[in-house]
């Protein structure tokens, strides 16, 4: 069974450009999460989808970030326009259920560099 | 809000040395606690977890005990190998994961 897949693995863009990150969760997982690790600091929660609905988007830093999950399958995270401080590693995770004991399965991450 | 503080690295060890990475947490509820590991070139993987006080999680020779009285979940391994070189993240789950900053561990032969 395929794990969580993220595309691209690396992206280098100029400040002011747009970048779209994609995440394909494990098939059948209704829950999809985005996280971000900036400058070697802690990994921070961005948002949580249940199927196609945003359950919790409290971690989204500002309105330059837009996440979608059309049809409840894959998800995209668009950054427009990108700023230098957006550089970091963006992780996607999925799980079959929610709750305190639920194991989330993570992708390899997308390393975004804004220059 | 919930938060996790873990020992800063990097940590460099020789093979067969003892490894401990300290982790403390702040939470309003009773979260589950996790250690995730990221090996070079790979994604985050769950290493072990504990869901309530005094539980001990273990996997691949690593252990961590959920200590409610000290709000800690320290990771230990008695004899590390080169293959244990990775970044280790402590995390708590109170319906969404809160991570520490990660500790980079390098084990030299």
DSSP string, A37-75: E-TT--EEEEEEEETTEEEE-TT--STTEEEE-GGGS-E
Closest CA to A31 of A13, A57, A51, A16: A51
Q: Which two tokens stand for residue B62?
A: 């690593």
- Between CA A97 and CA A84 the distance in angstroms is 35
**What tens digit of pLDDT does each residue of A47-103 get?**
999 999 999 999 999 999 999 998 889 999 999 999 999 999 999 999 998 776 778
Nearest to B43 among A44, A103, A108 (CB): A108
- Between CA A13 and CA B49 the distance in angstroms is 37
Contact B101 A99 (CB under 8 A): no
Nearest chain A Cα to B44, which residue?
A106
**What tens digit of pLDDT does each residue of B9-62 get?**
899 999 999 999 999 999 988 899 999 999 998 889 999 999 999 999 999 999
Which residues of B fall within a CB distance of 8 Å from A40? 101-102
């Amino acid at each position: 069974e395929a794990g969580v897949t993220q595309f691209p693995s690396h992206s280098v863009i100029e400040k002011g450009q747009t970048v779209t990150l994609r995440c394909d969760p494990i098939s059948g997982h209704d829950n999809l999460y985005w996280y971000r690790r900036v400058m070697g600091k802690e990994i921070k929660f961005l948002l949580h989808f249940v199927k196609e609905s945003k359950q919790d988007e409290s971690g989204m830093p500002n309105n330059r970030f837009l996440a979608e999950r059309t049809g409840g399958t894959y998800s995209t995270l668009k950054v427009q326009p990108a700023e230098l401080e957006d550089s970091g590693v963006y992780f996607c995770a999925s799980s079959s259920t929610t709750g305190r004991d639920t194991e989330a399965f993570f992708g390899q991450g997308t390393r975004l560099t804004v220059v | 809000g919930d938060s996790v503080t873990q020992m800063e690295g990097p940590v460099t060890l020789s093979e067969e040395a003892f490894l401990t990475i300290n982790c403390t947490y702040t939470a309003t509820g009773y979260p589950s606690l996790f250690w995730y590991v990221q090996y070079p070139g790979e994604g985050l993987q769950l290493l072990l977890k504990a869901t309530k006080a005094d539980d001990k999680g273990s996997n691949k020779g690593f252990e961590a005990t959920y200590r409610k009285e000290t709000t800690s979940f320290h990771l230990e391994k008695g004899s590390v190998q080169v293959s244990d070189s990775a970044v280790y993240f402590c995390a708590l789950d109170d319906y969404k994961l809160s991570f520490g900053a990660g500790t980079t561990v390098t084990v030299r032969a």
